[in-house]
Structure 1
Amino acid sequence: DWLEIGTIVGAQGLRGELRVLSASDFPQRFTEPGPRWLQRSPQSPPEPIELLRGQGIPGKNIYVVRLAGVSDRTAAENLRGAKLLVSDQELPELAEDEFHVAELIGLQVFDQATGVCIGEVIDLRTAGNDLLEVQPLDPDKPPILIPFVKAIVPVVDLAGDRLEITPPPGLIE
């Protein structure tokens, strides 16, 4: 029911501003005021909180935000490690061939040439290009990182819970 949009990584200054490492492709989630949800620990339930303002730090995937009720450095430091969330009902519209990370996780990955199932998408990493992290069917094998580009992942079938890849030699082995 929730999508993580960022992790609070520390305080910024003395007046309660927070540094947030983004896990979202949508900057407006940190710059446009409005309701968000705060999860202080993995065991705690999300609680509503108001984003008052925010701005990105150029060249980094970090935003400096102000949240209602966080007015000094101590309060900000106490939120280190907390997650900022939005409801999964608040997904922005995407262009064709764009996907939300939550839609990709859990998809079965098939080699298009052989039809063989390789594994399941367990995460999406950002490192220049997006990389699908795929857990092979053999749980003893380490995850495989597959560049999430059209040439390698030509088919994403959300309705069929699958994607098809055309891996270059050596990518899967």
Structure 2
Amino acid sequence: MTEELNVGRLVNTHGIRGEIKILSSTDFPEVRFAPGKKLLVVPPDGSPKFEVTVESSREHKGMYIVRLKGYTNINQIEKYKGSLLKVPSDDLVELPENEYYFHQIVGCEVYTDEDDSQPLGTIKEILQPGANDVWVVKPAKGQDILIPVINDVVLDVDIQAKKIKVHLMEGLLP
């Protein structure tokens, strides 16, 4: 079975003609919500997921307003508020070299350039505070370590081995 990745959440309806508001959680909303694209709707009540096709979409106030084929009335779509929208992982957009999806990075073990025999910890979360991402590394014991994702710190990323080598600049350890 193919892994599925979240691309958004159906947060509300828009108007009475069956359009929906989607809070996007993808870096490629213009691709994911393009006419003709297929999405999996995963209802919050545990009922079976089902596939829909995007008929039209537009950005509006930080969200996407999407019309789905076959849904022309608010009553048809309102019951799916809160649903997750997913795509199969084999439908990923190819990224440039040295760029990775969050799901590829989370769970990787982090090693330092000074000691690659003992892991510093495992990446449990990725923060996006501004200019660059920050990896939250959970060590075996102690406080989380925040690693800025910049060239001076991240030396090597091996997605296949789930291993990342970093250079710890002064002040990075708590």
Name the TM-score class by shorter chain: 0.7 to 0.9
So what's the TM-score if we normalise by structure 2?
A: 0.81
1:79 aligns with 2:102: no
Instruction: Show the counterpart of 1:100.
Output: 101
- Show CA shifts across 1:49-70 (max 9, x none): 1111212236x3x222122343
So what's the TM-score if we normalise by structure 1?
A: 0.82
Q: Could you tell me which of 27, 32, 43 is aligned with 1:29?
A: 32
C-alpha deviation, 1:127, in angstroms:
3.1
Distance 2:106 2:57 in 1: 29
Instruction: Show the counterpart of 2:113.
Output: 112
CA RMSD of aligned residues (A): 2.4
Structure 2 unpaired stretches of 5+: none
Instruction: Show the counterpart of 2:139.
Output: 136
**What percent of counterpart residues are identical?**
28
Distance 1:127 1:8 in 2: 25
* Higher gyration radius (CA): 2
- Show CA shifts across 1:18-39 (max 9, x none): 2212221112102342211111
Alpha-carbon contact 1:10-1:76 (below 8 Å) kept? no
Moved more, 104-113 or 38-47: 38-47
Instruction: Find the residue that maps to 1:117 and give its secondary structure.
Output: coil
Distance 1:143 1:47 in 2: 39
Matches within 5 A, 1:1-173: 1-27=3-29, 28-41=31-44, 43-57=46-60, 60=62, 62-115=63-116, 116-128=118-130, 129-138=132-141, 141=142, 143-173=144-174
Distance 2:162 2:70 in 1: 42
Q: Which amino acid aligns with 1:50?
A: T
CA spacing shift, 1:143–1:64, aligned 2, 3 Å: farther
CA spacing shift, 1:70–1:166, aligned 2, 3 Å: farther
